[in-house]
Amino acid sequence: MNTIKRLLIPGTIVFVLLLTAQIVYSCQLVTDGKALNRIDQHIDQLRQEVSLKEEKVASASSLMTIREKSVAMGFTESPKVMTMNQDSFVVALGQTR
């Protein structure tokens, strides 16, 4: 009888401890689940921001925007373009002799 008592008390204590550990661990996992959710949401948000930035860069560097900006800054399309071929230079530009 005493032997049974001696085994029952520590066994009960171990059982209660294990049960408590299990509950604490499970609760922590729930918290981790919430944290994981938050991380996922943060990743989503960052991805969205990157995508918005990419969109803004593409929009700002489009030819249409560049044209509008250049017109607003006073640039005009040159009506006459003159090109010079090296063979037709009248003086030897940048030549040593």
Selected range binding another protein among 4-12, 13-21, 55-63, 89-97, rule: CB under 8 A: 55-63
Q: How far is 62 from 70, CA to CA, in rounded Å?
A: 12
CB of 44 to another protein, least distance (A): 8
Q: How far is 88 from 2, CA to CA, in rounded Å?
A: 119
Q: How far is 47 from 53, CA to CA, in rounded Å?
A: 10
The answer to whether residues 63 and 69 touch, using CB atoms and an 8 Å cutoff, is: no
**Which of the residues 19 through 48 are near another protein (CB under 8 A)?**
26, 29-30, 32-34, 36-37, 44, 48
Residues that bind another protein (CB under 8 A): 26, 29-30, 32-34, 36-37, 44, 48, 51-52, 54-55, 58-59, 61-64, 81, 83-85, 87
